[in-house]
Structure 1
Amino acid sequence: MILTLASSSDDRPLAIRDHLVPLVRARGVLEVQHGAVRVIALRTEGWIFEHWTPFNDLSPEEASSPGYRHALERQRKTAELPYGLTVWRAGAEVLRVLWADDGTFEVETFVRGPWEAEALAMKR
C-alpha cells in the first residue's frame, strides 16, 4: 500500500522542487508547447521529471492578441498556480507540486520514500 500525502505544510516537497527545477531546465528537452503551456521533461535512469510554465511565445499559427491570451488563461483549470513539477520514480508518481510567482503553492502528491534523498543528491 502506497501512502500519498497531500499537504502544503511540509517544506520537503518545496526543497525537492527547488533542487530539481534548475536540473530539469538545464538538462530537459521541450516536449510540449501548445497554447499557454510549455512542458520540459527530463527522462533518465528510472526517473521522469516534467516541469511546466505558462505564457511562452506563441507559435506562428496561434493568434498573438492579448484577448487570445486572456481566453487561454480563463480555460486553464489551475490558472492561479501556473507552474508545476511532477516527478515519477520507477513508474510511480511521487511528487506533484504547483506554484505561482507570489509564493502560493499546493502539494498535490507527495509520497515519502528513499527517492527523496536520491533526488536531492542529483547533480545539476
Structure 2
Amino acid sequence: MTLRLVSTGNGPALAIRDHLLPRVRRDGTLEVQRDAVRVIALRTGEWVFEHWTPFKDLSPEEASSPGYRHALQEQHTVPDLPYGFKVWHAGTKVLCVLWADSGAFQVIDFRRGDWEALALAL
C-alpha cells in the first residue's frame, strides 16, 4: 500500500478561526438575529470579525424533533455549512470559512500575509 500525502493548505486558516472564535463569542456584539441567521461581530482597531450561526424559531407547523430535522438535512445533495467566520484587516477581507457540526468545512477566502501572525497574537 502506497501512502499518499495530501496538503490542502487549509490548516493555517482553520487555526486562525479556532484561535479567534472564542474571543468573538465572548466579546462580540449581537448584530442580527432573524430569519435563518444570528451574527455576532467584534470590531477592534483595524479588525472586524463576524461569526454567524443558524437561527430560526420553529413555526407551530414545524416538527421540532431531531429526527425530523435530520431527515430534512439528508435530502440535501450538498452538505449544509451553516456556520461562518469572516475576518477583515485594515479594510480588506482576509478570511472566510464555512463549516458544519459534522466537521465538513470550506475555506472560501484566505489571503496570506502579515495579518496572520497579528491575528494569532490577539
**Scaled by the length of structure 2, what TM-score is found?**
0.76
**Total equivalences in the alignment:** 105
Q: Verify: 1:48 aligned to 2:48, yes or no.
A: yes
- Counterpart contact for 1:8–1:107, Cα < 8 Å: no
Q: Verify: 1:121 aligned to 2:121, yes or no.
A: yes
Partner secondary structure for residue 103 of structure 2: coil
Point out where structure 2 has 5 or more consecutive residues left out of the alignment. 1-6, 64-68
Q: How does 1:23-42 map to 2 (within 5 A)?
A: 23-42=23-42
The CA deviation at 1:15 is 0.3
The CA deviation at 1:82 is 0.3
Identity among equivalent pairs (%)? 58
Q: Identify if the C-alpha distance between structure 1 residues 106 and 8 changes in structure 2 by more than 3 Å, giving closer, same or farther.
A: farther
Q: Verify: 1:17 aligned to 2:17, yes or no.
A: yes
Q: Identify if the C-alpha distance between structure 1 residues 111 and 34 changes in structure 2 by more than 3 Å, giving closer, same or farther.
A: same
Give the Cα–Cα distance (whole angstroms) in 2 for the partners of residues 116 and 64 of structure 1: 46
Determine the structure 1 residue equivalent to 2:62.
Answer: 66
- Counterpart contact for 1:8–1:106, Cα < 8 Å: no
Give the Cα–Cα distance (whole angstroms) in 1 for the partners of residues 121 and 52 of structure 2: 22
The CA deviation at 1:34 is 1.0
Greater radius of gyration (CA): 2
CA RMSD of aligned residues (A): 2.4
